[in-house]
Amino acid sequence: MWLFNFFMGMMMKLVKISDIFDIKYGVNLTLNKLEICSNTDANCIPFVSRTEKNNGISSFVKIANDIIPNPAYTLSVACSGSILSTFYQETHYYSGHDLYILIPKFTLLKKQALLYCTFIRANKYRYSYGRQANKTLKDILIPHPDELKRFTNIKIPKQPTKTPYHNKKVFLNDREWGWFLYKDIFDIERGKETVSKHKFGNIPLISASDSNNGVNTYIKEGIKLFSGNSITVTNNGAIGSCFYQQKDYYATTDITILSSGFPNEFNSFFIIVLISSESYRFNYGRKWSLQRMQTHKIKLPITNTGNPDWQFMEDYIKALPCSSNL
């Protein structure tokens, strides 16, 4: 929903999906009636289903002579199951039940097609198990093609790698651990904003959410701007949801901000896991208030002098698989 609000806040021209794409029902096949194969085999083709993982591909199957595949360079959209899971397909493919194919009415670059995948997925909140997207898909609003120039600075991320940041062997039992009060490690503040009554802009507003790094929407200005390189913790709603904020942001009153205690993002990722593990202690009737957090304790690796060992925490995170993507 925040993405739709962002479009409206930018006074962006919106059109229906059917204005940009021809909408066709997929070939509607059942996977267990097809011959499974490897993606390296000859005459093999992706089978796209309603999953929200792996670009929608659940298997690879042999091409059947009597079944024409869905065309390449189209979008696949799930209208039930993982509703509005939308992916750009660069090759011909077969598809399962309740999958629609969006065929561009004009040539789209890959970057443009991926943008439209994101725009369509942003409407997932409108649907549920009892309200599928088959009849209303054509009427979903997305940005007009002329508006895509606003996103020309967006870069397609590199393929993630499982390689660690470095090859040091670091183990949690390599250090002694000690208890610290939150107030002795962090500067602790509470957010100032409400979700409503803001003009849309380009600064994140962090709210009580356990997804999207806590970002609810983007606003122009608020009561207090918090500095990046800090941690946000939800004290109401999704209590204990914890995220690292790299850039400056605004935060609602449901958010507690932890800053100044840790040198960089690698330390914060280490701390976030520890903070999140404490969420079971709190609930709607016992919120993780600012007062409770100040007297709460956190256990951290320590140096020989008894101080938090920030370098060890950084080295540990950098030794984890996939840490080179950070």
Give the pairing of strands 297-301 and 177-181: antiparallel
* Structure token pair of residue 274: 């520890």
Q: Whole-angstrom Cα distance, residue 175 to residue 296?
A: 22
Please list the ranges in the chain whose pLDDT falls under 70.
1-11, 152-158
pTM of the predicted structure, to 2 decimals: 0.60
Domains with residue ranges and CATH for the chain: 2-151 (3.90.220.20), 172-325 (3.90.220.20)
For residue 205, is it left (φ>0), alpha (ψ between -120 and 50) or beta? beta
* Amino acid in the structure at residue 257: I
Q: Whole-angstrom Cα distance, residue 64 to residue 61?
A: 9
Q: Whole-angstrom Cα distance, residue 147 to residue 135?
A: 26
For residue 154, is it left (φ>0), alpha (ψ between -120 and 50) or beta? beta
pLDDT of residue 153: 65
Q: Whole-angstrom Cα distance, residue 226 to residue 232?
A: 10
Do the beta carbons of residue 94 and residue 67 sit within 8 Å?
yes
Do the beta carbons of residue 188 and residue 258 sit within 8 Å?
yes
